[in-house]
Amino acid sequence: RKEVEQDPGPFNVPEGATVAFNCTYSNSASQSFFWYRQDCRKEPKLLMSVYSSGNEDGRFTAQLNRASQYISLLIRDSKLSDSATYLCVVNQDYKLSFGAGTTVTVRA
């Protein structure tokens, strides 16, 4: 079983729509959680950390459910520039485990 599993998508949404997706992780001892964004043929970049209480960064909302070992990301008012692959990332003892990514395509 993979440490981090994500729905690969693709999620194809119109501009202005809301899109949400999630991932699950297998190691209950995981300590911290993140969403990274990776554009086509580019390197991953940190989008946001995920806190137990849930957190927002502009149009992006992340949620963590430790009991269910589940992380989610919601994007409101999607922009064309949000088209990317979103990597769910779990940290334990400074070792990051990445999911395979969820691809989002926002169309005009």
Partner 1 sequence: EAGVVQSPRYKIIEKKQPVAFWCNPISGHNTLYWYRQNLGQGPELLIRYENEEAVDDSQLPKDRFSAERLKGVDSTLKIQPAELGDSAVYLCASSGDHADYNEQFFGPGTRLTVL
Q: Is 46 in the site for partner 1 (CB under 8 A)?
A: yes
Options 13-21, 52-60, 72-80, 94-102: segment touching partner 1 (CB under 8 A): 94-102
**Could you tell me how far CA 34 lies from the centroid of its own chain?**
7
Q: Is 4 in the site for partner 1 (CB under 8 A)?
A: yes
Q: Which of 10, 15, 42, 65 binds partner 1 (CB under 8 A)?
A: 42
Amino acid at 38: Q
Whose Cβ is closer to partner 1: residue 17's or residue 100's? 100
Longest distance between any two alpha carbons in the chain, whole Å: 42
Residue 14: its H or E element:
strand 11-14
**Terminal Cα distance for the chain, rounded:** 37
Nearest to 76 by CA among 63, 89, 98, 57: 57
Whose Cβ is closer to partner 1: residue 10's or residue 16's? 10
Number of residues that bind partner 1 (CB under 8 A): 19
Binding site for partner 1 (CB under 8 A): 4, 8, 31-32, 42-46, 87, 89, 91, 94-96, 98-101
